[in-house]
Amino acid sequence: MMDAGQDAGFSQGFGSSDFGQAGPIPVVRIAPARPPDDTRINNLHGPGGPDPDGVVPDGMVPHGIVVEAIGAGRSGLDLLALQALAGQMRSGQFGVDPGGSEQAMTIARQVADMAQGLAALADRLVGQGSAVPAETIEVAEGDCVAFLESQFRIRRLRARHLPALSLGEPAWDILLDLAVAQYWRRETSVTSLCIAADVPSTTALRWINSMTREGLIVRRPCQRDGRRSFLAIAPETYQAMLAMAADSLRTEQRVRARYQRAA
């Protein structure tokens, strides 16, 4: 088992420092139809520190940015069209051979990923413009308890499918991030993995180091430049995550069905 969760020593004294501090989540504000300066950002600290002008270069969409929309309902985004585009790319239309190369599949997934991101933004815009806040939508008590019981059971499934993983939340967050990155063929840096772990960077590094030694995470050369390296989930760990997810989905369906019968 890993020992990366022992935070008492180093991270308490050092975790409060700026080492690896992710800082506040950068926010992009998308202005209404005719913004005076629609490319200005707040709190986006790049490697060179905060940009005094806060201007995003043309065509750049920094990774990991939370998009905050202003003027909901006026974006003109066509959610259905975006979802259709994502579906078409997945199914191999637009000239992508369904049984074709890995590269074609990677491109299709990345386009679908972008479409999903835009769809999520559109959802948020619609939600902000809605008269009924999402929090007020009624959910049956049985469904809530079914969800809670499912979560409890899913935690047990983690230990069954990933016995080498201690139940520390940072490790789990790291694996979730890497599993999603694996599906979308994203390259994950140590820095972004530390942010995903949502703990002080030193603690995150300790977890990443231990998980690498355990073989849960592997170092992989950059696809564009083989001399650089990124982190990825180990193939067997990815398969275990998929098996666990499938078990979890089945468990959740069974639990929900039981509560619905009892209602």
> Where does this chain bind another protein (CB under 8 A)?
10, 13-14, 17-21, 47-48, 189-191, 194, 201-202, 205-206, 208-209, 212, 218-220, 225, 227-229, 231
Residue 187: CB atoms within 10 A of its CB come to: 16
Q: Is the dihedral of CA 126, 128, 129, 132 positive or negative?
A: positive
Q: Of 150 and 201, which CB lies nearer to another protein in the complex structure?
A: 201
Q: Of 99 and 226, which CB lies nearer to another protein in the complex structure?
A: 226
Q: In whole angstroms, what separates CA 41 from the centre of its chain?
A: 22
Q: Of 202 and 248, which CB lies nearer to another protein in the complex structure?
A: 202
Q: CB 70 → another protein: shortest distance, Å? A: 29
Q: Of 135 and 225, which CB lies nearer to another protein in the complex structure?
A: 225
Question: How buried is residue 163: exposed, middle or buried, by Cβ count under 10 Å (0-12/13-18/19+)?
Answer: exposed
Q: In whole angstroms, what separates CA 165 from the centre of its chain?
A: 20
**Residue 68: closest CA among 42, 33, 103, 102:** 42
Q: CB 17 → another protein: shortest distance, Å? A: 4
Q: CB 102 → another protein: shortest distance, Å? A: 16
Q: Of 21 and 260, which CB lies nearer to another protein in the complex structure?
A: 21
Contacts of 14 (CB under 8 A, 6+ apart): 200, 202
Instruction: Give the Cα-Cα-Cα angle 117, 132, 64 (nearest 5 degrees).
Output: 20
Q: Of 10 and 147, which CB lies nearer to another protein in the complex structure?
A: 10
Q: CB 199 → another protein: shortest distance, Å? A: 12
| Pairing state between β 27-30 and 41-42 | antiparallel
Q: Is 218 helix (H, G, I), strand (E, B) or coil?
A: strand
Q: Of 48 and 76, which CB lies nearer to another protein in the complex structure?
A: 48
Q: Of 48 and 59, which CB lies nearer to another protein in the complex structure?
A: 48
Which value, to the nearest 10 degrees, does the dihedral of the CA atoms of residues 18, 208, 178, 163 take?
-140
Classify residue 145 as left (phi > 0), alpha (psi -120 to 50) or beta. alpha
Q: CB 174 → another protein: shortest distance, Å? A: 12
Q: CB 108 → another protein: shortest distance, Å? A: 26
Q: CB 100 → another protein: shortest distance, Å? A: 23
Q: CB 178 → another protein: shortest distance, Å? A: 13
Helices within the chain (DSSP H only): 10-14, 79-90, 102-129, 141-161, 169-183, 190-197, 201-214, 235-262
